[in-house]
Structure 1
């Protein structure tokens, strides 16, 4: 009989990835509300020794599929071993991140298991009486929220948006059982081949990890002006994000775009410069602790989301702000 919550964690650069902490945080909440066990599963190569790091983060049990053929994500192979883990664990609820892996793997597993899937959720809760999953996810480009009741479907599956959940404070006293699962892969099942994997070099702070993010929109006006945002971000040890409009204008690279269909950040401070505040963009920064906006339009939607707002031309406001920041940093 199905029981418990299963999350599929991830590794990055040889260590448990940040998304795993978020998944264990929400998974712990779901498991506790049901009075059941939380299991973490990891798939990869050379990860068995470090997988136990999931225990201090909230896991009760850990399943590991460690095989050289799983060094890089490969769709069919990962789906095959993930299905094997799922059948062994037999959980009520399965949760993944809306990451590169999760976007591809979750639908494949749902199809194989003939179950439903709620993608890119912002909130998850469980109904103790039915042990069913309730998922809240944005729809219509982030303009509305839909509540998905998974009912009696088992397992109930969902992916959660990155940076939308909080990891638990590590508890070093926690421990548990690590179960190793043999991959037993048939190479012929792979319909695609990973030819190469290239690590993109990032100067300064990674956008997803930055404590301070300066966001720029179409209102910045030019590539030259964009450099001023990058200069300010450098002084503040932050990173620069963008709207789709800024990317379309060619002011910045596409990998800086924040929004419902791109990256999500949750910095301590998000400063929106020349951004109107469209719902699609705000979905990507909604979990920022503080939002400050600079816009010449007093009626811009961005001000409804901001703790502080300055109405005026950013060209007049930003230089004085930067000078003050530079003064404080130099002290």
Structure 2
């Protein structure tokens, strides 16, 4: 694009992904991060919301900091389809020209964002874990893991607009909610026909994996290869259940086939920031630490006193987890009696 064309693009858009009338948690994180970027650039934070009968979500987005919510309401948008959502968002971007577009790196976001970027002939940095504004030229610097998480690459999009990123859930701070905030809701004219959508949603079936909500969990109990056997995850689950938490795992345990990948915490899994993270039999590879080091409290249980996990732990227990965890469960149950 020519310089005068680039200058026509302003403000930050957050794609407000919703499922069955509820915002996904990453949207709140994106609004919080967008606010930080917007303050540096002196621009506005807006959101684009698609769906049917989701007016309540437009108001909720404003309470989380969106200054303008562009809302597309149509029965054809009730359920997500790549064609339907991409068509509407591409048309809106062409007309309203946002400078930056942020999308959550969810299953839907990873499907939608590349389609939008391709149609707009712009760049897309996927699975970002850090976003910054270059103080010299105002471009967004997008950082993401590369080469299996062994290096962090920072990418810019100098010649095309909008600058687009998908952002990994769980890595950004959530925006604060303020019901007194005011903003504008702008209805988008949806030029969409049923023939534009090549797929049809017949039924929505929730998989068992969706029950593993690591990014929303306040307490996570994770197991690693130090469990010695896949049966060890039964003990991990008992502790998680006693604490009202969920089960996580290291990549090594997943690669060994001991537990499903939906439980994996780390740079190549899910990044989490719970109130309490308990690492059991996890040595603390750098990729795993990158995915949980920002937890409010980290408790490590490991036989090896020199395990790297103890370098980030607030509390460390050196010993046999098969002796320590049952004692923890007994103490928790005794406290509840």
TM-score, with length taken from structure 1? 0.91
Deviations 1:34-65 (A, max 9, x none): 11111100112221343121111111100011
Q: Separation in 2 of the partners of 1:117 and 1:250?
A: 33
Matched, 1:300 2:307: yes
1:77 paired residue number? 84
Specify the SS of the correspondent of 2:55.
coil
2:71 paired residue number? 64
Matched, 1:115 2:122: yes
Deviates more, 1:217-226 or 1:69-78: 217-226
Deviates more, 1:6-15 or 1:233-242: 6-15
Q: Separation in 2 of the partners of 1:150 and 1:51?
A: 30
Match of 1:10 among 6, 17, 20: 17
Matched, 1:324 2:331: yes
Shift in Å, 1:261: 3.6
Deviations 1:210-243 (A, max 9, x none): 2110001122233443211111111111111122
Specify the SS of the correspondent of 1:280.
helix
Q: Is the 8 A contact 1:141 1:279 kept in 2?
A: no
Deviations 1:281-329 (A, max 9, x none): 3343233222221122233332233223222221132222332333334
Q: 1:282 to 1:190 in 2, by over 3 A?
A: farther
2:321 paired residue number? 314
Note the 1:134-283 alignment, pairs <5 A: 134-200=141-207, 206-283=213-290
Shift in Å, 1:164: 0.9
Q: Is the 8 A contact 1:205 1:238 kept in 2?
A: no
Q: Is the 8 A contact 1:163 1:287 kept in 2?
A: no
CA RMSD of aligned residues (A): 2.3
Match of 1:290 among 264, 285, 297: 297
Q: 1:277 to 1:40 in 2, by over 3 A?
A: same
Shift in Å, 1:79: 1.0
In the alignment, structure 1 segments of 5+ residues that lack a partner are: none
Q: Is the 8 A contact 1:211 1:238 kept in 2?
A: yes
Specify the SS of the correspondent of 1:138.
strand
Deviates more, 1:216-225 or 1:67-76: 216-225
Match of 1:36 among 43, 46, 51: 43
Specify the SS of the correspondent of 1:284.
helix
Q: Is the 8 A contact 2:32 2:176 kept in 1?
A: no
Deviations 1:56-115 (A, max 9, x none): 111110001111112222112211111012123211111111111111111111111111
Q: Is the 8 A contact 1:235 1:326 kept in 2?
A: yes
Shift in Å, 1:129: 5.1
Matched residues, number: 330
Deviates more, 1:256-265 or 1:112-121: 256-265
Shift in Å, 1:2: 0.9
Q: Separation in 2 of the partners of 1:300 and 1:208?
A: 25
Shift in Å, 1:18: 1.6
TM-score, with length taken from structure 2? 0.89
